[in-house]
Structure 1
């Protein structure tokens, strides 16, 4: 399965907001600068996260974005669906019915769902289940295990230390 870079950007942004730990809003420009990202592209991802209820947008001169939920309450699937939407990854075009091969198969041969579509649907369900089983807190814990000082680096990089 392939996702856009927006999913990666969104997950890192949510983690960075959690590592800041103060609940204060952070501007798009600050969040983008933390990883040298495009502010306009990141802002599109942030708006998707707001629409999905994962972030809050705070208006005003001291506004920006902050987490709407603790990381324990947000799954990787929540983020993927917020950024990518809930359309199936695979869309069966029923090519089994087309062309000279499709013409040879009696209509009764199409009484069951397409085997290719069924296989792809099973794979997508398994992928979504795996994403749903991982909270962002789980991802954060793994990141901290690899780099214990990560939270302080984020705070320093965002000018909060």
Structure 2
């Protein structure tokens, strides 16, 4: 299974936004700069996250993005589904019923065992993504950080965080 680059970018942006003050926001340009990615590409993903209720968008000159929910209420599955959509990665097209000399329809009453196996794997994958929250990612990051990662993020936020005047 291959997820788009936008999924990685979106998860990192949500983690960054989780470190804002209560009335803070970050612009898409600032998020793109911090992660070294295209602003125009990132904007599509931020909009998808906003549409899914993961992010809140504040318009205007002091506007930007912030979390719409607490980090413990945002799962990796929420982010993946916002960007990739709800369709399963594997889609069975019943090719076993094609080709020369197809078998009669009664031979295909049971679902394809390949499709069944792939859907079981998809359920396991989604269950794991649902289990892991942004709060878990932050906790894991804290365990491995010698202070360098936090210092880099704090220094960037000190320069780029905007105060919206409204609390999240």
Count residues in correspondence. 159
C-alpha distance 58-99 of structure 1, shift in aligned 2 (>3 A): same
- Alignment partner of 1:110 is 2:127: no
- Alignment partner of 1:57 is 2:57: yes
Aligned match of 2:166: none
* Greater RCO, 1 or 2 (C-alpha within 8 Å, sep 6+): 2
* CA displacement, residues 100-145 of structure 1 (integer Å, 9 cap, x when unaligned): 36x2x33221111111111111110110001011111111111221
Under a length normalisation based on structure 2, what TM-score does the superposition of the two structures give?
0.89
Whole-Å separation in 2 of the counterparts to 1:157 and 1:141: 20
- Provide the secondary structure at the position in 1 that maps to 2:110: coil
Matched ranges for 1:70-89 at <5 A: 70-89=70-89
Whole-Å separation in 1 of the counterparts to 2:92 and 2:160: 50
Whole-Å separation in 1 of the counterparts to 2:5 and 2:70: 23
- Provide the secondary structure at the position in 2 that maps to 1:57: strand
CA RMSD of aligned residues (A): 1.6
- The answer for unaligned runs of 5 or more in structure 1 is none
Aligned match of 2:165: none
